[in-house]
A and B are shown apart, each in its own frame.
Chain A
Amino acid sequence: MEASLAEINGVPGVRGSFICDSRGEMIVSAVATGLDAALDGVGREVTQTMAALEMIGEAKSELDFAYSRTRVVVHDLEKAVLIVLCEPKVDISLLRLTLNVVTTRLKGYRDIQAQLDAREVEKEVLRDDIDDMSWHLLEALGERR
């Protein structure tokens, strides 16, 4: 997995990448050291967003968060999530091509799939992380589907 992350990091404008489980906990990282705690927060936010979208019937295999100084590109690996941190002006087409090629390859490696299987946790919105109004809104949207 480290080699795959290194390949992604080779795309100009990519600052780092990491893979976390469906609850946002880090599995493997290729980001500058010292940022682990911050990355756990990013992983948790991203996986909760994906779970919420799934709950309302709008599941996405890719997400792209554009901020003024950073762009966060997320690719669903089914049993885990790949998160890429980039500069806002990254060549997004080149990055998407690289992600498609790398993740297709990852799916073919049995040892990597076994590692991800071992870390697989159910995707769900954690009730304690969300205020009552948002939770009721999500439930209502989910029931409409």
Chain B
Amino acid sequence: MPEALSGNLAQLPLLEILKLLSSEGQTGRLSLSNGASKGEIFLREGNVVHAASGEHISEEAVYSLMGWLQGGFRFVPDVGAPEESVTTPTEQVLLEGARRVQQWGEIKKVIPSTDVVFKLSPVGASGTVNLEAYEWQVVARVNAARTVAQIAQDLGEDEFRVAKVLYRLVSAGLLEVGEKPEAPLRPTINGGFFRRLDGEFTEVMGPLGPVIIDDEIAALGETRESFPRDKVAQLIERVSAEIQDAEKRSRFQGIMLEAIRNL
């Protein structure tokens, strides 16, 4: 095991990272970042003892982080946990995590990305459907324009929980996948900007730089060919979160900020 393990969740999912660290009996801090969102999981002798992500803490934070499909991670060994919030045995946490990952696989057959929108079904369910209060909160936000990600953000919930509710409501016949309203044409950025970004980022991160950039572009639901100008700062913020060295990160941000101003 190297002194510090780091990489991208698109290449190595969190479940696999935790299995690896647990099987090796590692102690330390696993930091995760996905744009502006951050999370931390602490292990002691291979056991998960504490986790925090946004509003979530303990086991729920681990499950919430397992819902991230993209983002960077870094494990620093021999860092102690500030508290012990996880009481469930690690084996069970990993089993539950694996179950949720599998559920995600099922859900993705209906909701392939968090960019999907839903509308109320004009036909409705064939039988009686009971809704929990939380499920109603999700239904109330369905308007054929809000995406899964936007509904989750609106409710302050993780995307997995919201997607699970939407999946159930689609299966029950209450909702159907809607067509996203045609977005007005937005100014896009040119290839010259991406050549600059690839070059500067590769200098800091090495040959994997462009791969990480592609992951972050996909996470924003965009492509290099038609990347909107109003998302470019968000992309730079997400990409620079992968740079662990604060000095290098700040220098990279300064260069790219200048490039944004010259667009």
Name A's B-contacting residues (CB within 8 A).
91, 93-94, 96-98, 100-101, 104-105
Contacts and interface: CB of A to CB of B under 8 A. Distances in A.
B250 A101 contact: yes
Given A94-B233, A100-B249, A101-B254, 4 more contacts: A93-B36, A93-B237, A100-B250, A105-B254
Contact of A93 (B233, B249, B254): B233
Question: Is chain B's interface secondary structure helix, strand, loop, or mixed overall?
Answer: helix
A96 B254 contact: no
A137 B36 CA distance: 30
B230 A97 contact: no
Contacts of B254: 101, 104-105
Nearest to B246: A104
Contacts of A100: 249-250, 253
B233 to A, nearest CB: 4
Contacts of B249: 100
The DSSP consensus for interface residues of chain A is helix
Contact of B250 (A94, A96, A104): A104
A91 B233 contact: yes
Q: What 7 pairs between A and B have smallest CB-CB spacing?
A: A94-B233, A93-B233, A93-B234, A104-B250, A93-B237, A101-B254, A97-B253
Interface string B219-263: 000000000001001101100100000000110011011001000
A97 B253 CA distance: 7
A91 B232 CA distance: 10
A96 B253 CA distance: 10
A103 B221 CA distance: 31
A91 B253 contact: no
